[in-house]
Structure 1
Amino acid sequence: MLPLTSMTGFLLQKSGAILLAHAERALEARGTRVRHFYVLAALNDTPDLSQHDLSQMIGIDAGILGSLIDEMETDGHVERRRNPLDKRRYVVNITKLGRDVLVVLLDDMQKIEQEFLSSLSDSEAGNLRKYLERALAGRWPEVIECGSPGEI
């Protein structure tokens, strides 16, 4: 039997857990959470998402996401409005204030990632990202495309 640390999946899970813990601490100091960052980043890249599609895209339970959107709407970071094509549903968009917040959070998240990957060369870190993108291709909900982040 192989030792646990020889399993790529375990190493990926541990890496994600460590990155998430560091990010939560950093964003908590700003009065926010990683979930807020995920919502803002997803909405920045893909406007007019339904709450359901947003939930699928970022992997947050739809019920929890509804409460999170309520909170972010109160803070002025997102806006929710009726879908013009289906009045029973809502679409969610990032606001100007949300974009301003996203710029700051993105900088924090990039610094955390760079620190975590500091033992790798820039080329190695880039290759790791490419390999992960390739491994994830076609494995996410249809609404997601792995690739370069959109412009802020």
Structure 2
Amino acid sequence: MSVTDRTVHRCGPLLDHLGRLTRLRGESVLAPLGLRPRHLVALTVLRDTGCSTQQALAASLAMDGTNVVGLLNDLEGDNLIERRRSPEDRRRHVVELTEAGLERLAKAELALAAVEDEVLAKLDPEQRKTLYELLHLAASNHTVDCTTAAADC
């Protein structure tokens, strides 16, 4: 088998290219909503878990605690999240998505769906479903477990 035969079906460069297209277009549709990709991920985790301690959220996002504080400051400044002291442990803060945060997240997801439609325009619905399933399977070995994020809420 020649070197060319072994490298003909490498997905990395294609995934990187599609990821860049999606990221660039995604950032451009998120900016008018006052969001960046990291904001979107935090809002999504909070929607999916209901609430989280700051420490659990940092673990779920694989971010340093100091960086999470800055991220939460951004989101709280726009009234997209609310922080309060944990009733069980006054040293901890519990973070929850506000109604405004839920609405902004829904708008962002609609905008990002349009970006995905643009980037994947050549694929029919069945091909997109297959692509999603394959990517989900590939990513399942590399994802952070977010189920512990709500443990202290």
Q: Which bin holds the TM-score, normalised by the shorter protein?
A: 0.7 to 0.9
Report what 1:102 is aligned to: 105
Measured in 1, the distance between the counterparts of 2:114 and 2:62 equals 23
Measured in 1, the distance between the counterparts of 2:60 and 2:117 equals 24
Give 1:46 deviation, angstroms. Answer: 0.9
Q: Is the partner of 1:86 in helix, strand or coil?
A: coil
Report what 1:135 is aligned to: 138
Residue 22 (str. 1) matches residue 25 (str. 2): yes
User: Which of 85, 89, 92 is residue 89 of structure 1 equivalent to?
Assistant: 92
Give 1:141 deviation, angstroms. Answer: 1.9
Report what 1:149 is aligned to: none
Report what 1:51 is aligned to: 54
Structure with more of its chain in helix, by fraction: 2
Give 1:81 deviation, angstroms. Answer: 1.7
Q: Relative contact order (C-alpha < 8 Å, sep 6+): which is higher?
A: 2
* Corresponding residue pairs, total: 144
Deviations 1:74-95 (A, max 9, x none): 2110011223333332221100
Rg larger in structure: 2
Q: 2:81 touches 2:97 (CA, 8 Å); kept in 1?
A: yes
**Unaligned stretches of 5+ residues in structure 1:** 145-152
Identity, % of aligned pairs?
28
Computed over aligned residues only, the root mean square deviation of the Cα atoms, in angstroms, reads 2.2
The AA in structure 2 aligned to 1:140 is T
Q: 2:46 touches 2:97 (CA, 8 Å); kept in 1?
A: yes
Q: Is the partner of 2:122 in helix, strand or coil?
A: coil
TM-score scaled by length of structure 1 = 0.81
User: Which of 112, 117, 122 is residue 114 of structure 1 equivalent to?
Assistant: 117
Give 1:64 deviation, angstroms. Answer: 2.1
Residue 7 (str. 1) matches residue 14 (str. 2): no
Q: Is the partner of 2:82 in helix, strand or coil?
A: strand
